[in-house]
């Protein structure tokens, strides 16, 4: 368990989690939908190519998954630093 009186450690862990989520979201949104679209165009998903699917559905779905992941991970982080709601 981390030191409950260490707000800088909590903030560092929070910012690190945010950066990880942003990098994952950018890879899904920009990487797969825009930059890697020519490579993904040969893979069919639901009647269309995978690059188009990421541009239309995948970036939104990945954002929703990241939102739930962030909430779950922040609850664990809050408990770790003694800031959870009981």
* pLDDT single digits (tens) 19-42: 999 999 888 888 877 888 888 888
Strand ranges in the chain using DSSP code E only, listed in sequence order? 44-45, 48-49
| Residue 5 pLDDT level (bands cut at 50, 70, 90) | low
Handedness of CA 11, 17, 21, 24 (dihedral sign): positive
* Residue 25 CB neighbour total at 10 angstroms: 17
Helix (H, G, I), strand (E, B) or coil at 42: coil
User: Is position 12 within any domain?
Assistant: yes
**Count: domains in the chain:** 1
51-63 tens-digit pLDDT: 888 788 888 888 9
Structural domain harbouring 50: 7-80
User: Is position 22 within any domain?
Assistant: yes
User: Is position 85 within any domain?
Assistant: no
User: Is position 2 within any domain?
Assistant: no
Work out the mean pLDDT of the chain and round it to a whole number: 87
User: Is position 70 within any domain?
Assistant: yes
The Cα 56–Cα 33 span in angstroms is 8
Q: Which residue has the higher pLDDT, 51 or 18?
A: 18
User: Is position 86 within any domain?
Assistant: no
Q: Is the pLDDT of residue 11 over 90?
A: yes
């Amino acid at each position: 368990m981390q030191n409950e009186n260490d707000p800088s450690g909590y903030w560092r862990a929070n910012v690190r989690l945010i950066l990880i989520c942003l990098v994952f979201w950018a890879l899904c949104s920009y990487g797969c939908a825009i930059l890697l679209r020519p490579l993904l165009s040969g893979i069919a998903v639901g009647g269309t190519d995978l690059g188009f699917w990421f541009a239309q559905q995948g970036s939104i779905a990945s954002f929703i998954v990241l939102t739930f992941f962030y909430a779950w991970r922040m609850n664990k982080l809050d408990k770790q630093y003694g800031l959870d709601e009981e």
